[in-house]
Structure 1
Amino acid sequence: MNDWIPAAILWGLTLVRLPTVRIREALPAFLGALFASVAFTLYVPSVYLAVDRVIGGGNAVAVVLSEFVVAALWQIQRSLQIATSPSTAACGKAWRGWWAICSVAMLLTFPWWSAPQSTRWVVSVYGAQPALLVFQTIAVAFIMTVSISALRICLPRLKRMRGLFRSGFRMVLAGFALALALGGVRLLGNFLQPGSEPKAAIEWFYETAQQVIVILVSLGLSLPRLAAVAQRLALTLKAAKMLRRIQPIWWNLASSEMDLVIDSKLYSRIEFLTVKSVARLQRRISEIRDSEIRAQTRGYVMDTQSAEIVREVETLLYDYADGARNSQKAAMR
């Protein structure tokens, strides 16, 4: 798999979650995506080598990369806890302590590394060294405990899930089940003979599987939000189209009641490129209804076709409001 693909996917998922950054319950999911994005960007060989030169060489970037990975897993575990059991403050503190212990212990192994040549495959090349074995054991211990915790959180609740949440949790389960197996495989590979076929097979599996894992887990956690964002985008584009349809109705009514008009700017052909089409449509409908009420005192009656279009727009706006509520709920996952 191209190393830029998982990095690009993760940055895309991070950007999708950016509007939720001020929501306290949604922050762990955003941070998990952000930390994973940074880690997998550093994992790209050209980026890895460039950053390692900047920070002094000796594969110091491998420590930075790994710290971002365990931080991402910690935040993902937090997001799962919040999504399924919001009142788990004590358990959250215990996980924060476990993450801190593992992070510091991993960092303290670096002075004893002997890995002079910068290479993204530092574990494959130098992984049999005692210091690197300790480093990997700590990292694998954290990965495995997070994976077990995630499986314990998700499995009992899977039957109660419906729709996209069920599909998303299945992807998360598959990702963490694979991560659990991958941790043991990673350590086993270090004790195999360099250049042997079994070691080469394990290295290939590890390289591929870790990218599949991060994509599965990240997509699984983001699936409901991605669907809500797609729904809102579709409604926004439809709102831009409806602005053109109601323009003659609005002009027929509001042109004689300009004191009721909030926004007299005419519809633009590039309205669909903005994020304001729904807000403008809401104003247009309000102005149409307000003008209609005043015009009715003079005997005005809206024709059947215009009334049907206005009702269609009002239904669209109701669907948009409902989609916005669903998007808010999805942001909490």
Structure 2
Amino acid sequence: MIQEISAAVIWCLALCLLPDLKRRKDKSILVAAVTIATALTLNVDRIYNAGDQVLGSRNLLDLVANIFMVMGIYFLSRAILRAADVSETVRIHNRAGLLVLAIVVVALIVSFSLVDAPRSSTSFMRDFGSQWPAAVYSSVQFLYIGAVVAITGLTCFRFRGEMARSYFRVAFVFIGVGCALAVVLVLAVLGMDVLHLMGQLDAMTRLSYVYDAALVGAMVFLCVGLALPPVARRLERRSDARAAAVLVERLSGPWDRITSERSEIRLDLAQTAIDRHDAPKRRLHRMLVEIQDALFVDPHLARFLSQNDLDVLREAEQHLGARLAASRVRPLRLSRKGDATP
């Protein structure tokens, strides 16, 4: 049941990330979510039994799932570290991280090959964990996961205060807490491995409850933290688009009066009415550019602007914000007398 819940949570994260697939340059988080979700899904009993039977009932699917897991953790860490710190140091760590990942994958394959596991088992470590190769197999995987998530969590807490937007700061706190719970999970697994080797099965069973709780908690906190920024950005874009659409409607009157004699450069509203969240903002930006260009060429056109029109122009400039600073739009200094100065 724990595996099903964890897999469902991660798949939900992947669905939250899909709408921004084209916008996002770095797809590491989506790759990580799909990879980790696949690893957890392969460990669901019914899927594991069916899949491992196809592979010869030698628990090869357990190896495949664990390789997917460490790969997913690598991509997850890389995405979070890039978001927190874009310095050259992170890129160097990425190259070193790939090398470490390759070593871990090789170690998993070698240690797994030494485990005597003659039958398919949905509880691989419970059934075969008394063997030293199995303990090494488990420890290699979780030591790697523990080291990676510990570094990632510390980075989140370190850089959370430097994030410009509040939802990024909240997201980094969630991710940091999720990484802390993942470290608890790793410690629980290592403890269970040692107890199994010692034959302390009752103590191992009690510690497994810590593992189950930490697994669900880590997945929930990590997924909420990772899903928060893209969901918040989508809501922000929709709100921004609604506000821009209102300003476009309010600016249509002064735009029509000021640019009526300059039809060769006027915006074709019908052609720009496309179903995109950024369309209203683009239309507003173009209208404002045309008004200000017309006023720049002929400042006397300002006499056609009422005080309400000037207020709308100021609101449009404020709404566009940073885009105005980086564009060819020249903010106007408008007076109550109707004079316009570029």
- Report the CA distance between 1:218 and its aligned residue: 4.7
After TM superposition, give the deviation of residue 10 of structure 1 in Å.
2.4
Q: Is the 8 A contact 2:38 2:68 kept in 1?
A: yes
State the match for 1:233 in structure 2.
238
Amino acid at match of 1:278: K
C-alpha distance in 2 between matches for 1:279 and 1:155 = 37
The equivalent residue for 1:246 is: 251
Instruction: Say whether the 8 Å CA contact 2:175–2:222 is kept in structure 1.
Output: yes
CA gap of 1:133–1:315, structure 2 versus 1, over 3 A, is same
Structure 2 residue aligned with 1:72: 72
The structural deviation recorded for 1:197 is 6.8
Task: Indicate whether 1:304 and 2:307 are aligned.
Answer: yes
SS at match of 2:61: helix
Residue type of the alignment partner of 2:87: P
Map 1:178-257; keep pairs closer than 5 Å: 178-189=181-192, 191=195, 199-220=204-225, 223=228, 226-257=231-262
Structure 2 residue 91 is the aligned partner of structure 1 residue 86: no
SS at match of 1:265: helix
Q: Which has the higher contact order (CA 8 A, sep 6+)?
A: 1
Contact 1:21 1:27 in 2 (8 A): yes
Which letter maps to 1:259? E
- Counterparts in 2 of 1:10-159, with a 5 A limit? 10-15=13-18, 18-19=21-22, 21-22=24-25, 26=26, 28-29=28-29, 31-43=31-43, 48=48, 51-52=51-52, 57-79=57-79, 81-82=81-82, 83-84=84-85, 86-88=87-89, 91-111=93-113, 112=115, 114=117, 116-117=119-120, 119=122, 121-150=123-152, 153-154=155-156
Structure 1 residues 177, 3: CA separation in 2 closer, same or farther (over 3 Å shift)? closer
Out of 265, 268, 279, the residue aligned to residue 263 of structure 1 is: 268
Gap change, CA 1:321 and 1:49, over 3 Å in 2: farther
Unaligned segments of structure 1, at least 5 residues:
323-333
Is 1:316 matched up with 2:319?
yes
Instruction: Tell me the distance in 1 between the aligned counterparts of 2:269 and 2:93.
Output: 56
Q: Deviations over 1:224-245 (max 9, x none)?
A: 5654444333212322333333
Distance across 1 between alignment mates of 2:23 and 2:229: 13
SS in 1 for 2:309: helix
Contact 2:17 2:230 in 1 (8 A): no
**Using a 3 Å threshold, how does the CA distance of structure 1 residues 17 and 200 change in structure 2: closer, same or farther?**
farther
Q: Structure 2: 5+ residue runs without aligned partners?
A: 326-342
Identity of aligned residues (%): 22
Instruction: Find the counterpart in structure 2 of residue 280 from structure 1.
Output: 283
Range with greater deviation from structure 2 (37-46 or 128-137): 37-46
Whole-angstrom distance in 1 between the partners of 2:241 and 2:34: 27
RMSD (Å), alpha carbons: 4.0
Give the equivalent residue in structure 2 for 1:329. none
**Are the equivalent residues in 2 in contact too, given 1:59–1:116 (CA < 8 A)?**
yes
Q: Whole-Å Cα distance in 2 between the matches of residues 279 and 113 of structure 1? A: 64
Distance 1:284 1:166, change over 3 A: closer
Q: Which amino acid aligns with 1:74?
A: Y
Q: 1:257 to 1:147 in 2, by over 3 A?
A: closer
Report the AA paired with residue 313 of structure 2.
V
Contact kept in structure 2, 1:260 and 1:290, CA below 8 Å: no
Q: 1:259 to 1:161 in 2, by over 3 A?
A: closer
Which amino acid is 1:105 matched to?
A
* The structure with more radius of gyration: 2
Tell me how far apart the structure 2 counterparts of residues 172 and 274 of structure 1 sit (CA, whole Å). 29
In the TM superposition, what is the alpha-carbon distance from 1:102 to its structure 2 partner? 0.9
Partners of 1:250 and 1:288 within 8 A in 2: yes
Tell me how far apart the structure 2 counterparts of residues 256 and 158 of structure 1 sit (CA, whole Å): 52
Question: Can you list the C-alpha shifts for 1:203-251, whole angstroms capped at 9, x where unaligned?
Answer: 4442342232134235445655654444333212322333333334434
> Matches of residues 4-15 of structure 1 in structure 2 within 5 Å?
4-15=7-18
Residue in 1 aligned with 2:336? none
> What SS does the aligned partner of 1:175 have?
helix
Deviates more, 1:139-148 or 1:227-236: 227-236
Q: Counterpart in 2 of 1:325? A: none
Q: Aligned partner of 1:87: which letter?
A: E
- Distance of aligned partners of 1:148 and 1:318 in 2 relative to their CA distance in 1, 3 Å threshold: closer
The more displaced of 138-147 and 236-245 is 236-245
Partners in 2 of 1:32 and 1:138 — Cα distance? 20
* Conservation of the 8 A alpha-carbon contact between 1:164 and 1:224: yes
Give, in whole Å, the separation in 1 of the partners of 2:261 and 2:213. Answer: 67
Q: How many residues align?
A: 316
